[in-house]
Structure 1
Amino acid sequence: MSERHDTSTTTAASVPGRLGDPLVIGLSVGFILGFIALSLYDIDLVAEGIASGFAWTAGTLGSYFQLLLLVTFLVAIGLAFSPVAGARVGNLEAPELSTFKWLSIIMCTLLAGGGVFFAAGEPVYHFVVTPPAFDTEAGTPEAVASALAQSFMHWGFLAWAVLGSLTAVVLAHAHYVKGLPLQPRTLLTPVLGEGIMRGWFGGLVDALCVIAVVAGTVGPIGFLATQVSFGLHELFGLPEGYGTQLAILVVLGAVYVTSAMTGIHRGIQLLSRFNVFLALAIAAVIFLFGPTQFLVNAFTQGFGEYLTSFFTMATMTSQTAPDWWMQWWTVFFFAWFIGYGPLMAIFVARISRGRTIRQMILAVAVMAPIATTVWFTLLGGSGIHYQLTGAIDLTSALADFQFDVATLTVAQALPGGPLMALAILVLTTIFVATTGDSMSYAISVVGAGHDAPNALVRAFWGIAMALMAAILLYMGAGQIGALQQFIVITAIPVSLVLLPSLWTGPQAAIAMAREQGIAGTARRPSPSA
């Protein structure tokens, strides 16, 4: 095997600063302070401005976002089944993490917080309000498959693929072979060159990607506080006000900041493994003691509908669907995932050292989405069953997008009642914590440019996001919602960072295969030869 760089401990000299690029930190922190300051100055002005930008972006660029996710998935799957996908990531002959630990971190990090938050309510919503891709009568047994299929589309193959398939391949080759920094700017280096990306423009690219992730992570952190506060009020009669929400944020922040500071091999890994075991226990109880036959049939029919209607749902536009539906469902979710894309790719490339390209792509773009569909079926499918039989009625709550109410209502209807509801609240909390710790780590990696960022920097970003959530919640839950809408706007520049990976991803894979002497590729001579 040819000689390659080992950049697992990139020196500080190779990056703009020991604690981070001043431009990245300045712009990112400036965004947090600016958003809060403007909200304090005129909360309505901020909300209205973001709402206008959200509507314009969703209406004008929604189809572009959808095609980006669709083509990314198709190219990634094609690459995974090519001979070059046997190349290994990160200069290691064997995986750095065991398969279970590796998959646990993937499952608990990439779509964890959002997926758990929407798993109970979204399928029920699509059951009571038929998605535009289907013509089934809402609220009937015939509507079950289409409701689950639409949820699978939003949280399935396309969503996961954009988070860590082609982009992770590009970053893995650029960092571990060429010695380039683990930063979003590296995704554009094959197109614009190292000279441009090392300068202020590269810092701007990194900052925009960090801002997108901050917006995308603060939202779930804030929504979790409202969800757990509501749950504790319903289950134990605790007050549901800001004091309780603040206490929840303190506990949540302490958990994920500690996890981020201890790193991938300790806190992040342990938290992910615990959450996987808890999720498996909850899933087993639901499957064994819940509406088992209904869930089996619902998953079979729903997944079949997902596959047969895949391209219809993936390419649905405002020409064939109501504008409001596209904005608040497909485009919103897809833009959210795009915003996470570069930093999640950094995280995937970091934890996948020693894995083959094929393993990395299939784990992220196939196995994890299938596991997600099973989880959505267990929670959301149970909710549909109870809605269909009249045990619960979430029509009015979901009409107001009250997903915290939906989650708790479905949880209380499950076997175990209040105990199950408490377990799901704990699970949701830790899932959001795993998102918080991984993103605190990834943001710190962006600033440092290597995979061993300063622990205090990791703590700073974790605390900063918790504080931002606390301040925005104090202003009102509407500001958390406004920040969520801002995600769609940030997806514009971030999508341009992801776009080149459609061709640079395969190119990087081919280069890695050649360097490693994979059969079917012409091996280039070693630089030391």
Structure 2
Amino acid sequence: MKNLNLGLAIPAIVTVLFILLVSSLYPEQAQGLAGNAMTFVTDWFGWLVQLSSLALVGFLLWLAFSKYGNIRLGDDKPEYSNFSYGGMIFTAGVGASLIYWGIGEPMYYLQSPPLFAEANSYSAAAWSVTYSIFHWGITGWAIYCFPAIPFAYAFYVKKQRTLKLSTLCEPVLGRNKFIAKCIDLLAIFGTLSAFASSLALTVTLLSAGTAQLLGVENNLVLQGSIILLFVLVLFAVTLVGFNKGINKVSDYTVISAIIFALFVLFSSNVQFILNNFTDSVGVMLDSFFRMSLWTDPVQQSGFPQAWTQYYWFWYYAYLIMMGLFITRISRGRTIREVILYSISMGSLGCAFFISIFGGYAVWAQLLGGYPIQDWMSEGGLTFAVVSLIQTLPAKNLVLALFLIIQFFLMLTTMSSASVATSMLTTNQLSLNGDPDIKVKLLWAAAIALISFSVFLTGGGINTIKSLCVVAGLPMMFIYGILIKQIMMELKGKSELREPLTQPLVSKKLIA
């Protein structure tokens, strides 16, 4: 397998597995160290991540509507329809976590509200869905989107055949093998650890729902069986190929999720949900800059650190996976299209699902007579989510459909992680950006190994989650390097008086 960079792949995989093993053998010490590291990062650099992330939103919007936004990434027409393109970006970025946290976050915000509101008050209710939409909205998708610009420009315009992160940073940092290796390993570690955290959450939800549905015990055997099913389907999708695999799975999953969300909307209090959505969007638009920069230095409630800053650092850790995946599907798109589709489709898609599921949860708790917060106290958020789904008509059938949709949402994230890590560790990519099938299968196997290890090592996932956020700090500084690098490239192109818009070339003419 000569096309695989084993010097990057093996150390990254071993590091994640080693951390899982050590944290399972010494759970208290490992979680304590990782938790202290995460606290240090948010206490000292939380203000910086909030300022930087807001500035990134402004930079991307400027870039999209500047003359550079017309630059076409490649000579061909767009490879995928607008629906498929937006759907793949959306499903890769949210996985199965969206609906889970779309229900969970508003409940947490009701109990521990932001911006000095009292718990379970009308003011807390107004912020509950609002902050969920904010955390899954424009800023997060801007962080996800940005690395796709330098990656796609290097691959489709400059025709570079390797997409290591260190290669993009080289014009700014110079050539240093040690620094380059650290940057690349950090990128892979962030992807694998963030993925492992998402998978742990999803499998826990699926196993709890399956146990409730089938009346079986929720144990390690059930969780292992679910992971095995993930692995088998992942291998099948990988063997089928990108266009017939991930593309089709993404399309069908998005359609199914939308239909399911509409069912929830019209099976519950549709009037409340629509009014609550309208109010939440209004509150967010009115307070967007306040929410983006609120650090709570006087009251020190810890809300910005535990939620907003945590999310932003998490997005930075996960960014390379999203950047490479968006690169893979963006051939033929302009820079403007990549930015606007990523931010708009991601933000609107999240707002759609959060407003319905989160709105239903708020109505159920405050007006519907369902004790969701008591369910959370008794059995955790997973139990509360499953219980809330079962308050809908035809509860067992609806729960089964919910679990199937969650499975395929997570599968798209697994597939995206496999493609991204394959691209990052491939020495020479093909012209369409698709890694060798052997490399993709190897990474599918590696992701499977990490997936099983997450549950075999028990509590290690909490340490991984903390370290994932810590890894987001250096990635935030790498963003600054990438901004300087891409502007050097774009300005250089302009100074050479090359056409800023790449012409579309017919495939028939090429043939």
TM over 0.5: yes
Output the amino acid matched with 1:484. K
Gaps of 5+ in 1: 1-16, 520-529
1:38/1:358 CA distance change after superposition, 3 Å: same
2:442 to 460, 463, 469: 460
1:169 match: 149
**Does the Cα contact within 8 Å between 1:65 and 1:334 map onto a contact in 2?**
yes
Q: Deviations over 1:54-86 (max 9, x none)?
A: 221222222222222211111101211223212
2:342 match: 364
SS at match of 1:65: helix
Q: Deviations over 1:335-382 (max 9, x none)?
A: 111011122111112201111111110111123202211110111111
2:93 match: 110
1:499 to 480, 484, 491: 480
In 1, Cα distance between equivalents of 2:24 and 2:99:
31
2:13 to 29, 33, 37: 29
Matches within 5 A, 1:349-428: 349-398=327-376, 402-428=380-406
1:97 match: 80
Output the amino acid matched with 2:361. G
**Does the Cα contact within 8 Å between 1:445 and 1:452 map onto a contact in 2?**
yes
Give the drift of 1:431: 1.1
Moved more, 152-161 or 446-455: 446-455
**Does the Cα contact within 8 Å between 1:341 and 1:498 map onto a contact in 2?**
no
1:447 match: 425
**Does the Cα contact within 8 Å between 1:257 and 1:437 map onto a contact in 2?**
no
1:268 match: 246
Please say if 1:187 is aligned against 2:168.
Answer: yes
Give the drift of 1:448: 0.3
1:293/1:424 CA distance change after superposition, 3 Å: same
**Does the Cα contact within 8 Å between 1:256 and 1:462 map onto a contact in 2?**
yes
1:152 match: 133
The CA RMSD measured in Å over matched residues stands at 2.3
SS at match of 1:89: coil
SS at match of 1:264: coil
In 1, Cα distance between equivalents of 2:128 and 2:476:
28
2:313 to 332, 335, 352: 335
In 2, Cα distance between equivalents of 1:262 and 1:61:
44
Q: Deviations over 1:157-208 (max 9, x none)?
A: 000110113x211112222222332222233133124x44xx3432321111
Moved more, 270-279 or 509-518: 509-518
Moved more, 322-331 or 341-350: 322-331
In 1, Cα distance between equivalents of 2:302 and 2:397:
37
**Does the Cα contact within 8 Å between 1:23 and 1:204 map onto a contact in 2?**
no
In 2, Cα distance between equivalents of 1:472 and 1:374:
31
2:463 to 482, 486, 508: 482
Output the amino acid matched with 1:190. P
**Does the Cα contact within 8 Å between 2:138 and 2:343 map onto a contact in 1?**
yes
2:196 match: 218
Give the drift of 1:110: 1.4
Moved more, 343-352 or 491-500: 491-500
**Does the Cα contact within 8 Å between 1:295 and 1:377 map onto a contact in 2?**
yes
Give the drift of 1:257: 3.4
1:363/1:400 CA distance change after superposition, 3 Å: farther
In 1, Cα distance between equivalents of 2:238 and 2:310:
28
Gaps of 5+ in 2: 502-511
**Does the Cα contact within 8 Å between 1:148 and 1:302 map onto a contact in 2?**
yes
SS at match of 2:44: helix
Q: Deviations over 1:224-252 (max 9, x none)?
A: 12111111122221210111010011111
In 2, Cα distance between equivalents of 1:237 and 1:465:
30
Output the amino acid matched with 1:174. A
1:295 match: 273
Instruction: Count matched residues.
Output: 495
Matches within 5 A, 1:198-277: 199-277=177-255
In 2, Cα distance between equivalents of 1:34 and 1:475:
10
**Does the Cα contact within 8 Å between 1:153 and 1:306 map onto a contact in 2?**
yes
1:8 match: none
1:164/1:321 CA distance change after superposition, 3 Å: farther
2:103 to 102, 120, 132: 120
**Does the Cα contact within 8 Å between 1:183 and 1:446 map onto a contact in 2?**
yes
Give the drift of 1:461: 2.3
Q: Deviations over 1:253-292 (max 9, x none)?
A: 2222332344431211111011111111112212223211
1:86/1:134 CA distance change after superposition, 3 Å: farther
**Does the Cα contact within 8 Å between 1:128 and 1:138 map onto a contact in 2?**
yes
Q: Deviations over 1:377-418 (max 9, x none)?
A: 111111111111243222245469933123212212234423
Q: TM-score, normalised by structure 1?
A: 0.87
Output the amino acid matched with 1:160. W
